[in-house]
């Protein structure tokens, strides 16, 4: 009986310091959030300067720093399809001063290469920055194809005759071509280049007959008459090309290859800091200056009332499942994160 009483007293004394520690930790977290930010914030972009993740990050940073009263620096950490930069943020202190500009490659990578983290559960997702741009299907301007139907008819009649430039395996242009071949029953040859812009230029010179490339790479070539756009590989038509149909409209269901750009922090980021960043993010992306710059890139802005960390996580989960289905068309099995 005496032993039982003594054990209870010991447990009570143990619980008390733990309770005090928990309270102090909560107070410290709240105080940290209230003083945030008090030094420069770094946006880590895992891709090269001038790319489809980099430009939105720089425009966003310039607007957000005015609203938050702290400098925002963009740092490009490239390599391994974005894994190098993402890994650096995954391992960073969860204090809100090192943030990741994430993108479609984060979920695509899971199904083609080994990564040390899960892009959804191992990061503190804050919100979307942009949707898009979509891929567009273009062909050399001197070719006779005036519609996707004409291109497909020739490809079916002449297997392996036509070639499309891509950005290499496990990239959106290559995945889109695989889906088209699978859906249309064609055998268009994949010719890999070092990027979608280089592949688009190869179409313009006639080195290959066509490609799926991003709107930003295609537009100047279309305007110059060097390539012809036949379809939009996104959910909606593009404002700049309202007369160009989507792949969905042309009978290719679930043919959506659009990028996105988002903001995420290291795991265990304070909910208060995440909420503050989400608020500043939504205010910035809905400014006239930001919307004008993104529209020129073929990107759209997510609605502020639904652009929450929870909805961003749900979007990432759905996109991950969709990318797994597309990977199966290429013969790849979904890969679990490396522990």
Where are the domains positioned within the chain?
39-132+259-329, 134-233
Q: What pLDDT is attached to residue 339?
A: 36
pLDDT band at 24 (very low <50, low <70, confident <90, very high): very low
Any idea which of 29-38, 148-157, 256-265, 302-311 has the lowest mean pLDDT? 29-38
pLDDT band at 113 (very low <50, low <70, confident <90, very high): confident
| Mean pLDDT, residues 21-47 taken together | 72
Judged against a pLDDT cut of 90, whether residue 263 lies above it is answered with yes
The fold adopted by the segment(s) 39-132+259-329 is D-Maltodextrin-Binding Protein; domain 2 (3.40.190)
Whether 134-233 and 39-132+259-329 are alike in CATH topology: the answer is yes
- 141: phi then psi, degrees, rounded to nearest 5: -65, -20
Percent of the chain with pLDDT over 70: 88
Q: What pLDDT is attached to residue 30?
A: 53
Query: What is the pTM (predicted TM-score) of this model?
Result: 0.82
| Mean pLDDT, residues 163-192 taken together | 93
Q: What pLDDT is attached to residue 296?
A: 87
Q: What pLDDT is attached to residue 5?
A: 52
Judged against a pLDDT cut of 50, whether residue 316 lies above it is answered with yes
Q: Which two tokens stand for residue 5?
A: 């009483």
Check residues 256 and 330 and name the one with the higher pLDDT.
256
Any idea which of 11-25, 184-198, 240-254 has the lowest mean pLDDT? 11-25
Q: What pLDDT is attached to residue 15?
A: 55
Distance CA 241, CA 232 (A): 9
pLDDT band at 11 (very low <50, low <70, confident <90, very high): low
- 76: phi then psi, degrees, rounded to nearest 5: -90, 115
pLDDT band at 81 (very low <50, low <70, confident <90, very high): confident
Judged against a pLDDT cut of 70, whether residue 278 lies above it is answered with yes
Judged against a pLDDT cut of 70, whether residue 185 lies above it is answered with yes
Q: Out of 3.40.30.10, 3.40.50.300, 3.40.50.2020, 3.40.190.10, which CATH number does the structure's domain 134-233 have? A: 3.40.190.10
Q: What pLDDT is attached to residue 19?
A: 52
Judged against a pLDDT cut of 60, whether residue 8 lies above it is answered with no
For the chain, give the mean pLDDT.
89
| Mean pLDDT, residues 217-236 taken together | 96
Check residues 32 and 283 and name the one with the higher pLDDT.
283
Any idea which of 30-34, 144-148, 235-239 has the lowest mean pLDDT? 30-34
pLDDT tens-digit profile of 130-154?
A: 998 999 999 999 999 999 999 999 9
| Mean pLDDT, residues 108-123 taken together | 93
Q: What pLDDT is attached to residue 167?
A: 85
In 3D space, the residue among 48, 41, 49, 103 whose CA is nearest the CA of residue 68 turns out to be 41
């Amino acid at each position: 009986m005496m032993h039982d009483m003594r054990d209870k007293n010991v447990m009570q004394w143990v619980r008390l310091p733990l309770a005090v520690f928990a309270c102090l930790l909560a107070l410290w977290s709240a105080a940290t959030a209230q003083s945030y930010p008090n030094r420069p914030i770094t946006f880590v972009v895992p891709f090269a300067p001038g790319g489809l993740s980099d430009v939105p990050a720089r425009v966003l940073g310039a607007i957000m720093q005015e609203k938050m009263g702290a400098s925002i620096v963009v740092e490009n950490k490239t390599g391994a399809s974005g894994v190098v930069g993402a890994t650096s943020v995954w391992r960073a202190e969860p204090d809100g001063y090192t943030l990741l500009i994430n993108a479609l490659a984060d979920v695509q990578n899971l199904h083609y290469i080994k990564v040390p983290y899960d892009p959804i559960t191992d990061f503190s997702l804050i919100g979307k920055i942009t949707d898009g741009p979509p891929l567009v299907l273009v062909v050399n301007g001197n070719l006779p194809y005036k519609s996707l139907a004409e291109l497909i008819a020739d490809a079916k009649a002449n297997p392996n005759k036509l070639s499309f430039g891509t950005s290499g395996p496990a990239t959106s242009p290559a995945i889109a071509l695989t889906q088209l071949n699978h859906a249309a029953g064609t055998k268009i040859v994949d010719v890999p280049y070092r990027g979608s812009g280089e592949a688009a230029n190869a179409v313009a010179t006639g080195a290959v007959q066509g490609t799926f490339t991003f709107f930003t790479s295609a537009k100047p070539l279309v305007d110059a008459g060097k390539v012809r756009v036949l379809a939009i590989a996104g959910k909606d038509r593009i404002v700049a090309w309202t007369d160009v149909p989507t792949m969905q409209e042309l009978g290719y269901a679930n043919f959506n290859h659009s990028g996105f750009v988002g903001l995420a922090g290291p795991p265990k980021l304070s909910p208060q800091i995440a909420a503050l960043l989400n608020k500043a993010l939504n205010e910035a992306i809905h400014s006239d200056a930001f919307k004008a710059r993104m529209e020129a890139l073929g990107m759209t802005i997510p609605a502020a009332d639904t652009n929450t960390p929870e909805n961003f996580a749900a979007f990432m989960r759905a996109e991950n499942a969709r990318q797994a289905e597309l990977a199966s068309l290429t013969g790849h099995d979904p890969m679990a994160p490396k522990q």
